[in-house]
Each structure stands twice: as C-alpha cells, then as structure tokens.
Chain A
Amino acid sequence: MTAKDSLHIALAGNPNAGKTTLFNNLTGAHQHVGNYPGVTVEKKEGICTHEGNEIRVVDLPGTYSLTAYSVEELVARDYLVNEQPDVVVNIVDASNLERNLYLSCQFLELGVPLVIALNMIDVAEKRGIRIDTEKLSEFTGVPVVPVIARSGKGVNELLKTVQKVSQTGAAPPRTLIRYGADIDEALKDLIPVLEEHKLLGSAYPASWTALKILENDEQIVAKVMLENMKVGQELVDRSETLARHLQDTIDAYPETVIADHRYGFVRSILRQGEVTRITDQDRLYASDQIDKVVTNRVVGPLLMAAILFGLYSFTFNWSGFLVDWMGMCFAFLGSLAESALPDGPIKSMIISGVIDGVGGVLGFVPIIMFMFFGIALLEDSGYLARVAFMMDRIFHFFGLHGSSVMPFIISGGIAGGCAVPGVMAVRTLRSPKERMATLLTVPFMNCGAKLPVLTLIIAAFFPAHQARYMFLATLVAWLVALLVAKLLRMTLLRGESTPFVMELPPYRVPTLKGLFIHTWERTWQYIKKAGTVILGISILLWAMMTYPGLPSDKVADFEAMRQQVVTSADKAEELLRIDQLEAEAGLRHSIAGRIGMSLEPISHFAGFDWRTNIALVGGFAAKEVIVSTLGTAYSLGEVDPEETTSLTDRLASDKHWNPVAALAFLFFIMFYSPCFVTVVAIAKEAGSWKWAFFSMGFNTVFAFSMAVGIFQLGTVLGLG
C-alpha cells in the first residue's frame, strides 16, 4: 500500500485534553518523533491499523487557538493547510466544553474535514455534566464520537467514523458563526475581493482568509501582500476602517470582538440543551483539595524543594549503576583494542577517538533516560505546572519563566548536575524568548564535570575552607546565570514576556505506557541526532591533542635518554619520568598545544600560562579533561580526576600560581564555553547552530573578562 492510498489523519486539540493519550493508544510503539521544519516543536507520527487498513496518524501540538502568536499554533494550522490531512480528529475535553469548543470553532472556520472525539466523558459525568452528543453534532455539523482515551473505549467507533468522513469528504464550510453586524459586514466586503483575485485561493477558504485579515493576523496579511500588493493594501485599509470604527463605538479590537463572538456561539450551543449540569459545579474537586496542600504558602515551597531534589537524585544517583556499567563495558572494549591492535596512530584513534567518543555519547544515555522519565512523571501528573506557578514570581523578575527552574537544577543548580540533560529539559518551556534565555544560561551551573576541577583548585589554594568555597561557587553560579539571563532579556532577547495565562491541569495518575513512550522517544532522539555529531567532534578533538606528533629527532632524544637510565638504580621510576616528559613535549607540539601557546600573550592578562590554556582547550571536550590535561602539561602523566594529590601539590608550589590566579581560573572554568556535547544539545534545542556558536563565543568572552578583572584587581591589591 502506498502512502497515497493510506488514510492520513491529524489529531488536534487543547493541551491536556487527552490528545497524546489517544495518540499513544492508537499507535502504540509505532511512533516516530521528529521536528517540524525550522522550528523546535516536536512532530509525532505513527501508524495504526483499522480493519486491515493502515492509517497514518499525526499528533499536532496542543493549542487553545489557531492564531499566529505562538509557534505551536502556526505549526498546527500550517500543517492543516499544507498537508491537507484526510480527516482532522478534534479531541475535546468533555469536562471543559466551553474552552475546547472555542478551538473547534476555528477548525469549522477553516473548513477542514472534522470529527469531534469527545474525551473524558467519564470525568464529565462524575462532575455532573451530561452531554447529548447527537445534538452537539447537529449544531456543529460534524460527527461527534464519545471516547475514553485512557482506556481506549470508543476508539473503534471513532476510527469507523473517520473512515466514513474520509469517503464523503469535507462538508463545504457553512456560515455557522456570526461575529456581529460590523464584522459580518466587513467580511461581506472582503470575501468577494479575495475570491475575484483568487488570493490564497487554493489553500485557504476565502471566508477564513477574510477573517484573519480582520484579526490582523501577521502571517496571513503578509502572504496576501506578497501575492498582490495593491489589492492586499485595499483589504488592509478596509480592515483598519473597521478597527477604527470598533474603537470609536465600543472601545474594542476586532480580534477580541471576534473571540467574544466565538464564545457566544459556543455558549449558544451549550444553552440549547446539549449540556445538563446535574450537581453544583462549585464543589471542590480532588485536584483543588490536593492544591490546597501542594501550593500552600509554607508547605508548597518545602514540598517543591523536596520533589526537585528527589528528581535530581533520581536522575544522577539512581542512574549511577547503569553509568558505571557502561563505563566498564567501554573500558573493557578499550583494553580489548589495546591488546588486539598493533601500536600506531590507528590504535590510538580507535581507543582515544572512537571508543572514548562512543562511550562519551552513550555515557549520557542513562542520565538522560532517567531525567526524562522523572520529568515525564512530573509533567504527566500535572505537578510541573504547579512548579511554574510557584516559582514564576522569582524567575519572571529575571526575564525567565517559572518553568525555568527545572533545567537550572538539572544543569547543576544543585552542584553536580549536567548541562546536557539540563539543556534538553528546556523543551518543557513554551515561551520562545524565556526558553532561549534559559537555554543560554543553564550551562553556567556547576555540572558534575566542573566539580573535580573546582575541588582541585580549591584544595590547592584555599584548603582551609573547602566546603564553604564549594557552596559559594554554587551561589555565584546561580547569581551569574540569573543576572546574565536578565541582561540577555534586556538586549538580544528583548521583548514582552510571553503571557503566563495558563491552565493548571487536574492531577492525574500517569499511565506507565505513556511514561515509557515519552522517555524512550526523547532518549532515542538524543542518540540519533546528537550522537553522530558528538562522535565526530570527539575524534577531531583527539586529533588536535595528538597531531602533529613529535618530530623523529625529538623522539630519538627521548629514546637516548631511556637508554642512559638502563644502568640507574631506580630504573622504573626514571623511565616513567621520561615518559611523562615526552608526553608533555608531545602535547606542547600538538595543534591544541600550539593554540595554547599562541594564546598566552592574551591569556596572561588573566594569569593563565600556556599549560592552563591547553587544559582549557581540552576542557571543551569535557570539563573533567582539564584535570588530566593539566597533569600531562605539568609532566605528571595523565592525572585521574578522582585522585589529584600530586597535581594539587604541584600547583600549590608553582611560582606561576597564586590565590588570585587560582580565583581567576575558577571563575573562568565556571563560565566559559560549555563543553561541545552541551553545545550540540543547544544547537538541537534552539533549532539553529547560530545560538550554539553564540553560547561558545559569548560565554568565553564573558568568562575571560571576569577572569581578567579578578586577576588584575587582585594583583593591584597585592593579594597574589
């Protein structure tokens, strides 16, 4: 069966109306998650089989409306217009008909072939709302099928109806909704003009285009102007006349008058007998009772701290055994390659480039999987919206959104997180500007890989108050991240905050199936999309630290030195010493080493010598690499980040280092370019490499300015 023959349906509806549950129920594991072209909105597709026929199901982003104000809404309506699904299934939450039918109105206006799936009738009935589906169908002019998405009840009947509608095709758009005399008259003026000039004729019904022009919809107005500037201007002029008239007579905007009339239409349906409310609707539902405790002034924040801390330890501690296990697997593979392959560049590349690289990619997988499971749990249960509700006052002050708190915590807001899952957690934010500001500032947190470096420096130069300094580092990270967010929102990401008006969904017990599907699809996306890029860069970085190798005369010199020690008493120790010296010379000779040395004239303003520079270049691969590279650069061999005593002593006694230089170095490490895995993740979440490169450049310049400031000031004050 070809794609053309199979039925193609789109699921559309309000967030929290049960759209995703229905989608999971229809398609099960046969899902594919991607992105809509050019935007970061998730596109979910799946296949379901009904009476032997395959049906392609697309889950559109949940929206309350079809305006041009949010990416989700644009994506949803562009999909309906451009891809022309055979049938649109509109999931309507029966327990909240009024707002759900507001969206249905807009599908009717667009004239798409529609079936209404009336979901959660069980919940509605418990609340005393009875709905006459036949009458609802009569008034809207489209079939209405009651379903319970969670249990799958009614789904078969729904698919039957969908098939029937696909055969008969869409009923021509009827004029169901009146928008008041002024607007109806303006529509009557616009529609014939649009039809005459066939403006956007093939894609949109003229009545819809006319309505959008009156709503002053940016996208549609731009499209019309592009097709015919002159006629477009006439239409816009007519629309402005209407706007002025409404302003003068009733002090309102056309788009709000239209919205009010849509609600009027919905209410008239509800009044005409579809709905019988049996009991008093003011009674408190279970959700409200839970909220009384969960968002209480005193208990709420404490509980939230406990839950976020729980999410954090679940992500990083519970996944530990899998991380260790994978580490062991890759170490075993490495040792296998070590013994099986002949010495040479190929062997080095396979071990240090490929195996370490793949290990690096997959090493994050358990953490990401656990994090997404935890987030799915909070999201599906409805708690995440409460976190946003409670935290918004603080984060809004810094130009962020209440939901920003979670990515910050996962990235290391509690020291020891990881920016990679942190960056990926940013996708729970729906407001574009707040989301971008969060994305760019979460890498400032102290992730687990920065900790060994911070510990090393603090142990070497501030040994008296180690715990206090570590705690200060966490506070400084928060402060800087929030202030930079504020700065970005006042400059590059300037603009009104996205309206906070949002629904607190009723608490629900998440379904295990839903949790596993959400966890797996997001994890798989990381492996597939980010994994390949990460592997490539990891090989590149390995090559930079290895090539060009030492010239043969230098190698011969070291060989000669080795020959000389044959007679010496403590031979093994001497040989090791020479190996370390050779490694240092090799590193200095490599591309990374040359970059480090060439940067010295600039970096010495912050007190960094070439050794530090090389380590910082290495830190781009992963921050903990700074420790091992510093070890090699100080001819101590590769230092294990877990065991740094030798390096601590070496740094503490080195004349290049002093507490001021160390503090400058600490600040630089905390705030300079994120590691490349994070950079790749940022590129994927932001939908463009532009922002990823920006975060590398901006953070490095920002961190360097801070380091220079600290070093120069400290030196002038004679603290060094």
Chain B
Amino acid sequence: MNLRKMQTGQSGTIASVKIGGSLGLRIREMGLVPGAEITVTGRAPLYDPVKICINGQTLTLRNSEADHIDVATK
C-alpha cells in the first residue's frame, strides 16, 4: 500500500522506496528504509504533510514524497 493512502493510526513495514537522487537519499537518511516499521500518527490540518512514527521518533513528509514509499500494512 502506498504511504499516502494510509490512515492515521495504521502501521506497517516499509516494503520499498522507489526513488533515487537527493530525495531518495534524504528519505533513506531519515531512516525510511525497507524493513523499517512505521505508524502514521497524524496529518497536518490541511491533510498534507503526513506525520509518521519510526523507531520512536516522529518524521514528517509531504504527500508527494510519501508517494515513493510502499508499505506492507498489517
């Protein structure tokens, strides 16, 4: 399932990150790598960006960036 489509409160394991270049590296640097467990913890008042919990820290990313991340949801 695409990260953009996940509901608040939903959890899953990152299956793939399909982008390279600076955005692809940046996403990985922040710990969003295949195998990482994430939970969507909320969205901004205008539904973008999305807020997720990973390894006990909170990350935010725009929906357009979340598009590149596929998650195997529970």
Contact = CB atoms under 8 A, between A and B. Distances in A.
A263 B28 CA distance: 9
A507 B4 CA distance: 26
B57 A500 contact: no
Give the residue among B24, B27, B34, B57 with the most A Cβ atoms within 10 A: B57
A500 B49 CA distance: 9
B26 A253 contact: no
Interface residues of A, number: 46
A288 B45 contact: no
Contact of A256 (B24, B45, B59, B62): B24
Interface of B is mostly: mixed
Contacts of A718: none
A259 B33 contact: yes
A168 B52 CA distance: 43
A99 B55 contact: yes
B39 A282 contact: yes
Contacts of A295: 42, 44-45, 51
A335 to B, nearest CB: 54
B41 A288 contact: yes
A501 B30 contact: yes
B25 A65 contact: yes
Give the residue among B23, B26, B34, B59 with the most A Cβ atoms within 10 A: B26
Contact of B62 (A297, A300, A500): A500
Contact of B33 (A260, A297, A500): A260
A64 B31 CA distance: 10
Contacts of A282: 39
Given A67-B25, A392-B48, A98 B31 contact: yes
A288 B30 CA distance: 19
Contacts of B56: 95-96, 127, 281, 285
Given A95-B56, A504-B58, A393 B46 contact: yes
Interface string A688-705: 000000000000000000
A396 interface: yes
Nearest to A299: B45
A503 B54 CA distance: 10
A390 interface: yes
A500 B24 CA distance: 12
Give the residue among B30, B33, B42 with the most A Cβ atoms within 10 A: B33
A263 B33 CA distance: 8
A321 interface: no
B31 A99 contact: yes
Interface in B2-29: 17, 20-29
Interface string A61-73: 0001101010000
B61 interface: yes
A707 to B, nearest CB: 35
A502 B27 contact: no
Contact of A501 (B44, B46, B65): B65
Contacts of A259: 25, 28-29, 33
B71 to A, nearest CB: 15
Interface residues of B, number: 37
Nearest to A281: B56
Given A295-B42, A295-B44, A392-B44, A102 B29 contact: yes
B57 A99 contact: yes
A401 to B, nearest CB: 11
Given A255-B20, A393-B47, A499 B57 contact: no
Given A102-B31, A260-B34, A255 B49 contact: no
A259 B31 CA distance: 10
B51 A504 contact: yes
Contacts of B24: 253, 255-256
B47 A502 contact: no
Interface in A283-326: 285, 287-288, 291-292, 295-298, 300-301
A634 interface: no
B72 interface: no
A546 to B, nearest CB: 54
A14 to B, nearest CB: 10
A389 interface: yes
Interface string A501-529: 11110100000000000000000000000
A260 B56 CA distance: 20
Interface string A383-410: 0010001101110100000000000000
B34 A392 contact: no
Nearest to A103: B29
Interface in A363-399: 385, 389-390, 392-394, 396
A99 B30 contact: yes
Nearest to A261: B33
A500 B45 contact: no
Interface in A237-292: 252-253, 255-256, 259-260, 263, 267, 281-282, 285, 287-288, 291-292
Contacts of A267: 35
A527 B66 CA distance: 44
Contacts of A389: 44, 49, 51, 60
Given A287-B58, A288-B53, A393-B46, 4 more contacts: A263-B31, A390-B45, A393-B48, A499-B26
Interface of A: 64-65, 67, 69, 95-96, 98-99, 102, 127, 252-253, 255-256, 259-260, 263, 267, 281-282, 285, 287-288, 291-292, 295-298, 300-301, 385, 389-390, 392-394, 396, 496, 499-504, 506
By Cβ-Cβ distance, the 6 closest A-B pairs, closest first, are A253-B20, A393-B46, A504-B58, A259-B28, A69-B22, A64-B29
28 contacts: A64-B26, A67-B22, A127-B56, A252-B20, A253-B21, A256-B25, A256-B28, A263-B31, A287-B58, A295-B42, A295-B51, A385-B60, A389-B60, A390-B45, A393-B48, A496-B23, A499-B26, A500-B60, A500-B61, A501-B27, A501-B30, A501-B59, A501-B60, A501-B65, A502-B30, A503-B57, A503-B58, A506-B58
